[in-house]
């Protein structure tokens, strides 16, 4: 090992390497604590953002399921008009066939007629292999329930309310779409 002589020490002092002090353990721990607090804040924002994304995704799905329910009831009204014209019955008499006011229904795009239900628990929706929402129990279960309620306004109109409920992270959510059906034929 080489011995350090006075000339080497003077060279080191001239560039201030011998007089510099390092960081203490407390300074290092303080910096690490500040960085850690900042990272915890960032991570909590990331987690909250993921949760809000899931809730918003399900709200969009619920909105679309409710709108589909309205359209399925309109389809049934239109089908009734076609059926009424084939049997020469006045449209006023049968435009609400199979969708009588005062009842609640479940229906999906595969159904010929809406089915009467007594509570929303009977209306669970499932995803089939084509990723379509159906009431078929053999498909993949989803958190969504859709119930359609029809209320008579007068002999020429009916009020339709489609309610979609779902549960996410132990909290219940609900979305409703409403419309008025008219017998304008």
C-beta atoms surrounding 38 within 10 Å: 10
Three-state secondary structure string covering the chain: CCCCCHHHHHHHHHCCCCCCCCCCHHHHHHHHHHHHHHHHHHHHHHHHHHHHHHHHHHHHHHHHHHHHHHHHHHHHHHHHHHHHHHCCCCHHHHCCCCCCCCCEEECCCCCCCCEEECCHHHCEEEECCCCCEECCCCCEEEEEEEEEEEEEEECCEEEEEEEEEEEECCEEEEEEEEEEEECCC
Write down the domain spans for the chain.
36-182
Higher pLDDT, 3 or 117: 117
**Structural tokens at position 109:** 């795009």
C-beta separation of 145 from 165 below 8 A? yes
The share of the chain scoring above pLDDT 90, in percent, equals 51
Whole-Å CA distances, 167 to 59, 133, 134, 144? 11, 17, 18, 8
pLDDT at 65 over 90: yes
Q: What is the pLDDT of residue 72?
A: 95
Q: What is the pLDDT of residue 22?
A: 64
Q: What is the pLDDT of residue 170?
A: 87
pLDDT at 40 over 80: yes
**Structural tokens at position 87:** 């049997």
> What's the distance, Cα to Cα, between the start and end of the chain in Å?
107
**Structural tokens at position 41:** 């804040």
Least confident piece of the model among 81-90, 120-129, 137-146, 158-167: 81-90
Per-residue confidence band for 89, with pLDDT thresholds at 50, 70 and 90? low
Q: What is the pLDDT of residue 178?
A: 96
Q: What would the mean pLDDT of 128-146 be, rounded to a whole number?
A: 90
Q: What is the pLDDT of residue 176?
A: 96
pLDDT at 2 over 90: no
Per-residue confidence band for 12, with pLDDT thresholds at 50, 70 and 90? low
Q: What is the pLDDT of residue 21?
A: 65
Q: What would the mean pLDDT of 8-21 be, rounded to a whole number?
A: 58
Least confident piece of the model among 20-34, 49-63, 147-161: 20-34
């Amino acid at each position: 090992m080489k011995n350090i002589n006075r000339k080497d020490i003077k060279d080191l002092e001239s560039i201030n390497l011998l007089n510099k002090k390092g960081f203490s353990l407390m300074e290092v721990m303080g910096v690490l604590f500040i960085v850690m607090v900042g990272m915890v804040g960032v991570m909590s924002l990331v987690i909250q953002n993921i949760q809000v994304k899931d809730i918003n995704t399900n709200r969009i799905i619920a909105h679309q399921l409710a709108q589909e329910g309205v359209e399925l009831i309109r389809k049934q009204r239109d089908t009734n008009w076609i059926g009424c014209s084939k049997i020469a019955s006045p449209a006023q008499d049968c435009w609400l066939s199979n969708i009588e006011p005062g009842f609640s229904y479940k229906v999906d795009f595969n159904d010929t007629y809406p089915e009467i239900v007594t509570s929303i628990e009977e209306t669970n929706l499932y995803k089939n292999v084509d990723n379509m929402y159906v009431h078929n129990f053999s498909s993949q279960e989803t958190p969504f329930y859709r119930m359609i309620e029809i209320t008579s306004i007068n002999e020429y109109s009916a009020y339709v309310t489609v309610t979609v409920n779902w549960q996410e992270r132990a909290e219940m959510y609900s979305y409703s779409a409403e419309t008025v059906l008219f017998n304008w034929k």
